[in-house]
Amino acid sequence: TIFDAFDFEFTSGSASFNEINTTVISESIKEKYFGHSNPIGKELLIDGLPIKVSGVYKDLPTNSHVQLDILVSFTTLEYMIGYIPDSWLWNSCWTYVVLKPGKNQGNLESNLHDFVQKHYNSLIKNYSTLFLQPLSEIHLDSSLENEIKPNNKKLYLIILLGIAAFLLVVSIINFLNLRTTNSLTRVKESGIRKVLGSNRFQLLAQFILESLLLSLASLITAFFLVEAFLPVLNHLTDKSILFRNIFDNYIVVIIVSIALFTGIFVGISAGMFASSCPTVHALRFKKGFLHRKWLSGRFLIFAQYVLALVLLILVLVNFKQLHYLKNTDLGFEVRNTIILPVSNTPISKKYSHFKNYLIASDRVAHVTALDNIIGSRIYHRRYFFKRDNKKKVEFLPVLTTRHDFIKTFNVKLLAGSDFTKGKTENLELAKNELIINETLSKLIGFESVKDAINKPLTTFNGKERIVGVIKDFNIRSLHKPVSPLIIRTVANKDHINEYTKYVAVKFKKVGKNDLKYLYMIWRKFAPDNPFEYDTLNNILDKQYHNEDVLNYFLWLFSALLIIISSIGIWVLTSFFSIQRTKEIGIRKAIGAMEQDILKLFSMDFLATIVWANIIAWPIAYFILKKWLFLFAFRVDIDIWIFAIATIILLFLTFSIIWFYALKTASSNPIDALRDE
């Protein structure tokens, strides 16, 4: 059973659910429907069938690709639908194999070819293969069709982890610079303590203790902030991360170690800087020894500039790509379309009446039914055809719908005609009719779309006939190229095919009153079923959830980096001012204007930004090429995006520099030229 393959921790009841109409549920479902009461022996109504609860298990980990809330056995499934789907021609379920100790994947996989040859139908055995996929490669690495749930992308995690690590390093560097700047005001203090007998170790110990206290205080503050903003993070990522997860798997040890390392490292560095100044220079506060620090600080700012530019470019291109994904023409009409899940509701048996009630209103333009949401996941079916006098077998996407599909979604018909239903009420005439798209027409080998009309395609159920060819549209997300497509109809006008699960209602314009009208009709036909709906536009947008999350984090990291970089620029400008105090005083004394001082401050930073662009642009371009390669449809990487990122950084830098420079330029040159 599934409990032999996976570790389920039961909190009540048992794992035995092989009896008809029994189920085991997760704690989340238990709390949702039964609250704090004991659900064992009580019933849930699942698709109109009362199912008795026999056990409750703890929610599965959020980092697992298997997320199961309600489990029923095949015994119950057979009772519900009348049979067990065990055809060799259709993968009706996900199969997990637990290998015996000492056995490996290769040993089993080598026997799968013989297995296919023995059990598969003679028509497809030479066109089918089976392979094993390690469980550890599914959650982040799988790109197979029809996974249990959409997977995350490892590249996105690598990008975010890389940026987070760099932000941490930059923050530590800025902390070091701030502590070092602070130590400048304490050079005299260090000199006096050395005169009074303090050794270098004692000076270092003081700086280390102060830095450790600041670092640990920051860590405690960070814990409070994480707990406060965790609900926001969970909402953005659609996860259920708990604060206590931080204390699992040595995560807290790593975090505390980083805080301790930061405090000790910064304390030693700042202490070494302050104590390295000769006592005489310390007591008189000579600036010459700052030159080396200025050079190292400029390199750190250069590194921050590089990352800031890369991040800003990524943010702008990601925003452009996301806008393109959500607003490009998919080849069918999305607006004003409401999707209703109707599987196992009374509506599935009274679809024609339900539709007639809807279109009787002048609010509704069209209504159709389909087995999958257009633009999302879709079933596949094997079809046979001849090309170049050779028999071909293709596992093709098939959308089962009604005769008014083309009108509802405003799909362009290139050749042939719509289904026969448009000409007669005899749906039996349309049951073997197919409409295909341009891509499939080319795959089969037709020179033009007109050549495809009235040509046969064969399945295991017999021959079917192509009656029309439509313009290509995206039946999947824009991560994938346009795939071949077959559209077929349901013959029985009073019963939706068992694979048809949704009704699409095209309103002339969707408003609150239209939804109330839809709800009223729903209650008339399915009073015992909850009214659930979603807009087609929203359903399609959910396909880009990972891109949305990446976009949020890139904006957040960019904002943080800008703040951190601003602090770094401020600190470095302070170093610059201290190092060249006398020079600025002399320049002012001999007649230099404020704009001359501004130019003096700006030139060093301008050179740094120029070099940062030279390094950052190729890095950003390389990352973007890798990332955009994940999409079959993607935007161009325009030069103006790089220019905008540079302009933003220039504006930020010079706003800070000029503010500080004007303050310095307005000071009395006598103060700068004094020497104690």
pLDDT in tens, 261-318: 988 888 887 777 666 655 444 444 444 444 445 455 567 778 778 888 888 898 899 8
Q: For 132-144, what is each residue's pLDDT tens digit?
A: 888 877 777 666 7
- In tens, the pLDDT along 155-209 reads 777 887 888 887 888 788 778 777 776 666 566 666 666 656 666 677 778 878 8
CB atoms within 10 A of CB 30: 25
Rounded (10°) CA dihedral 394, 400, 403, 407: -90
pLDDT given for residue 320 in this prediction: 92
- Rounded Cα distance between 568 and 298, Å, is 9
Please list, in sequence order, all residues whose beta carbon lies within 8 angstroms of the beta carbon of residue 382, skipping any fewer than 6 positions away.
Answer: 89, 124, 393, 394, 395, 396, 459, 460
**What does the pLDDT read at residue 282?**
44
Residues 6+ apart with CB under 8 A from 75: 18, 19, 20
pLDDT at 468 over 80: yes
Sequence ranges of the domains in the chain: 2-84, 165-286, 289-332+543-676, 343-525
| Cα 125 to Cα 130: distance, rounded to the nearest angstrom | 11
Give the three-class secondary structure for 329. Answer: coil
Nearest residue to 337 via CA among 373, 379, 376: 373
Euclidean distance between CA atoms 464 and 452, whole angstroms: 12
CB within 8 A of 115, min separation 6: which ones? 130
Average pLDDT value for residue range 323-346: 88
CA pair distance 336, 364, nearest whole angstrom: 10
Q: For residue 54, give both structure tokens.
A: 């026999």
- pTM score, whole prediction: 0.75
In this structure, of 237-246, 344-353, 627-636, 667-676, the range with the lowest mean pLDDT score is 667-676
**Mean pLDDT over residues 463-476, rounded?**
88
Give the span between the Cα atoms of 164 and 170, in whole angstroms.
10
